[in-house]
Amino acid sequence: MPRIFGFYEMQPRAKITLIGILALVILASSVMYVQAYHRLKPVYQVKTDSKVVALTFDISWGNQTPMPVIEILKDKEVETTFFLSGPWVKQNPDVVNRIKEDGHEIGTHGYRHINLSTLSKSEVKEEVKKAHQIIKEVADVEPKLIRTPNGDYSDQVIEAIHEVNYEAIQWSVDSLDWMNPGVDTIVERVSKRAHPGAIILMHASDSCKQTTEALPRVIDNLRKQGYEIVTVSELLKRGEKEN
């Protein structure tokens, strides 16, 4: 019988030790593979053949842009999802309640506008709970969806979010309105990238100065393409979540 690295010359105890080491190496490699390819992720879109999309707005600061956006949505008879930061909710209770009264869904954008991946698991939970409590007190709403500040996340962040009974929501279509790239660019990006089950990212913070001009055209173009515009929670009922 051929010798392989002297394996057959080893004593039984040495052979068992080597086999154990090899088994541990294989196990460690398997764990690393699982971690690399099965990372916990938020929801980016929904798998469906139906022409339905969710239009979403993040708000962290400002009081000039939100109301014009809300008025446009009312005029167009569109219900969307707003992700609101805790401090902004506290400072703008009337606007928050108007969002609720108009039939829009309210989600949280966290408390501090910081990358949650820089925090401990308990700190992430505290950020979510603090924002949750403010929204509950101001609008008598208990949100179950969160869009993390800057879209930042890690396995630990997603675990923490799930443990406080929240669903993390990202997007599959970025309007880039936060970059103020030009109204035509915003409209064209959304129109060209829209797809069945898409979650579309827009903003209603004051720093996004072209959103209000682009929004009516975005809505009109989506409808011309045959899309129904719904809230995120409604979209999640229409198909399978995709991470």
User: Where in the sequence numbering do the catalytic residues fall?
Assistant: 58, 203
| Closest C-alpha to 203, from 149, 142, 133 | 149
Task: Check if the beta carbon of residue 178 is closer than 8 Å to that of residue 203.
Answer: yes
Pairing mode, strands 240-242 and 105-108: unpaired
- Report the DSSP beta bridge partners of residue 202: 57
Q: What contacts 167, CB < 8 A, 6 or more positions away?
A: 42, 43, 144, 145, 146, 161, 236
Q: What contacts 94, CB < 8 A, 6 or more positions away?
A: none
Structure tokens at 76: 């167009």
Task: Check if the beta carbon of residue 199 is closer than 8 Å to that of residue 45.
Answer: yes
Helix (H) / strand (E) element for 47: namely: strand 45-47
C-alpha–C-alpha distance, residues 237 and 241, integer Å: 9
Report helix, strand and coil shares of the chain as percent, to nearest 5: 50, 15, 35
Helices and strands: H and E segment counts in the chain: 9, 10
